[in-house]
């Protein structure tokens, strides 16, 4: 199935390139149709997977592709397990949404934009399914190129080039440490096959140094303080599709890498460094929440809130509990839905009034009631209101932190209070009060602007009410 999904994406890229910019509408229709086909195939993969398949190394859902590389390095394998399935489905959901929300806003170099978007999707599938850690690194870094160009070419303001280079060099510099770690692993084991490495136990001293390399790379991606500087700048300057991809999927690569490698390849080092990492995650929750409270740019506010939520994810992962594993995956999926929805709604305002400064907005609820309702539901999910998916994730993350240490829950609890404060204050400033004189000729959302955030809200509430349909407990024997 993964091979079929990849084939559909590659074919759609070639078709879009063949049509070119001579017929932008046809290019958009091809990209949108192929993305919906990939979404349907991903749903089929999700609903048809074998619930007894827990491991890559024994009962796997199937070797979906095998390409020989060399006799020394082994073969490159792609596979799917219960840890990668949720992220594959998340990517498949957000890609057609990115095309829809960019339908009218991307007016030049349409072919190139669609090709980059589909290429990012293809590379993300490779990241989530590769069973060779060198191939994982290549896919991991390959995403930088189309994302860098997307921010630098279709960014919204003059600082877009600076934001693109911030994003590129921060993530590239961090990833070089992972590459050194991969070389070290190959030198000592003679293989880069993940299924073989997961059955071996690396020497403790080797684990410490290699884990530091992987941590530095993944910490930039997630991002953890103090490696977060690139994120607000990139979010503010990126087009709306770039912001959705960054918040919805690319930030999850760090968390996915921690889940995939930390407790399987480096269990001793992960256990040793977990108090320090949980401390850094706690600092990130408080610092990012306080930074969010003082933001005047709507996109920066949502970006800094992402740093706070990702800090909670790392706390859950390194608590090394079953609740922490499930909480981390649920939080990442919930953040992918809610943060993407918030970026879409903020961009809807920008498209109308051409400013993201919060103080210019007031009384939007009087002229845009449907928009205000969508915005309010997303704000409730962002503060982890009950029946939302975020509530389930944050509740379980607090339980996991409590099992690690009683002191470990203080910062996450404070972060939840601050999250409610800045989120509700943000909504109150934009929606209520006497209508601002700057908001002339306001109109409510149309159908194209309505359905993407509404779909994300429905998914957030549905999975919040029925989180067991994700079958995340099937990951527990594999990770722990």
pLDDT per residue over 210-252, tens digit each? 999 999 999 988 888 777 888 888 888 889 999 999 988 998 9
64 located within any domain: no
What is the predicted pLDDT for the residue at 186?
92
Cβ neighbours around 181 below 10 Å, total:
25
Q: What are phi and psi of 252, to 5 degrees?
A: -80, -10
| pLDDT confidence tier of residue 480, bands split at 50, 70 and 90 | low
pLDDT digits (tens, 9 = 90+) for 336-372: 999 999 999 999 988 888 888 888 888 888 888 999 9
Tally of domains in the chain: 1
Q: Residue 403's closest CA among 312, 317, 321, 341?
A: 321
479 located within any domain: no
Q: What is the DSSP letter of 224?
A: P
Q: What are phi and psi of 74, to 5 degrees?
A: 85, -160
Rounded-to-integer distance, Cα 91 and Cα 94, Å: 5
63 located within any domain: no
Token output for 233: 């700048």
Lowest mean pLDDT among 141-150, 309-318, 405-414: 405-414
Q: Which neighbouring-strand residues pair with 77?
A: 66
Structural domain of 88: 1-55+70-470
61 located within any domain: no
User: What does the angle CA 83 – CA 86 – CA 91 come to, to the nearest 5 degrees?
Assistant: 125
| pLDDT confidence tier of residue 476, bands split at 50, 70 and 90 | low
Percent of the chain with pLDDT over 70: 92
What is the predicted pLDDT for the residue at 65?
38
Q: What are phi and psi of 416, to 5 degrees?
A: -65, -40
181: helix, strand or coil: helix
350 located within any domain: yes
| pLDDT confidence tier of residue 34, bands split at 50, 70 and 90 | very high
477 located within any domain: no
30 located within any domain: yes
What is the predicted pLDDT for the residue at 61?
37
Please determine, for residue 25, whether its predicted confidence score (pLDDT) is greater than 50: yes
CA 161 to chain centre: 22
pLDDT digits (tens, 9 = 90+) for 158-181: 788 888 888 888 888 888 999 999
What is the predicted pLDDT for the residue at 67?
40
62 located within any domain: no
């Amino acid at each position: 199935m993964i091979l079929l999904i990849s084939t559909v994406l590659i074919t759609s890229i070639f078709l879009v390139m063949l049509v070119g910019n001579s017929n932008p509408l046809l290019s958009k229709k091809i990209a949108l149709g192929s993305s919906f086909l990939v979404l349907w195939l991903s749903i089929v993969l999700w609903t048809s997977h074998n619930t007894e398949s827990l491991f890559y190394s024994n009962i796997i859902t199937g070797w979906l592709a095998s390409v020989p590389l060399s006799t020394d390095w082994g073969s490159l394998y792609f596979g799917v397990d219960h840890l990668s399935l949720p992220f594959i489905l998340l990517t498949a959901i957000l890609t057609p949404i990115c095309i829809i929300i960019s339908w009218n806003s991307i007016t030049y170099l349409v072919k190139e934009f669609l090709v980059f978007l589909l290429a990012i999707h293809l590379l993300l599938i490779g990241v989530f399914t590769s069973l060779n850690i060198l191939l994982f690194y290549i896919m991991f870094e390959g995403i930088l190129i189309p994302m860098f160009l997307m921010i630098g070419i279709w960014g919204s303001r003059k600082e877009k080039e600076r934001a693109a280079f911030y994003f590129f060099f921060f993530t590239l510099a961090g990833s070089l440490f992972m590459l050194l770690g991969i070389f070290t692993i190959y030198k000592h084991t003679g293989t880069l096959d993940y299924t073989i490495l997961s059955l071996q136990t690396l020497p403790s001293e080797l684990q410490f140094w290699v884990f530091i390399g992987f941590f530095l790379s993944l910490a930039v991606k997630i991002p953890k303080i103090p490696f977060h500087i690139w994120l607000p700048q990139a979010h503010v300057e990126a087009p709306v599709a770039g912001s959705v991809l960054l918040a919805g999927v690319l930030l999850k690569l760090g968390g996915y890498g921690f889940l995939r490698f930390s407790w399987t390849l480096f269990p001793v080092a992960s256990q040793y460094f977990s108090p320090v990492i949980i401390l850094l995650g706690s600092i990130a929750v408080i610092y990012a929440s306080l930074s969010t409270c003082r933001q005047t740019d709507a996109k920066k506010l949502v970006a800094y809130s992402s740093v706070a939520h990702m800090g909670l994810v790392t706390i859950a992962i390194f608590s090394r509990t079953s609740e922490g594993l499930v909480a981390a995956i649920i939080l990442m999926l919930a953040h992918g839905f809610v943060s993407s929805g918030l970026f879409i709604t903020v961009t809807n305002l920008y498209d109308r009034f051409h400013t993201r400064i919060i103080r210019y907005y007031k009384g939007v609820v009087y002229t845009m009631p449907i928009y205000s309702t969508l915005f309010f539901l997303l704000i409730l999910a962002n503060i982890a209101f009950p029946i939302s998916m975020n509530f389930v994730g944050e509740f379980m993350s607090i339980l996991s932190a409590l099992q690690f240490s009683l002191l470990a829950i203080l910062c996450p609890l404070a972060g939840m209070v601050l999250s409610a404060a800045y989120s509700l204050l943000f909504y109150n400033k934009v929606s209520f009060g006497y209508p601002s004189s700057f908001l002339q000729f306001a109109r409510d959302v149309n159908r194209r602007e309505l359905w993407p955030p509404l779909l994300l809200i429905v998914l957030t509430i549905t999975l919040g009410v029925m989180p067991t349909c994700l079958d995340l407990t099937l990951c527990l024997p594999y990770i722990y």
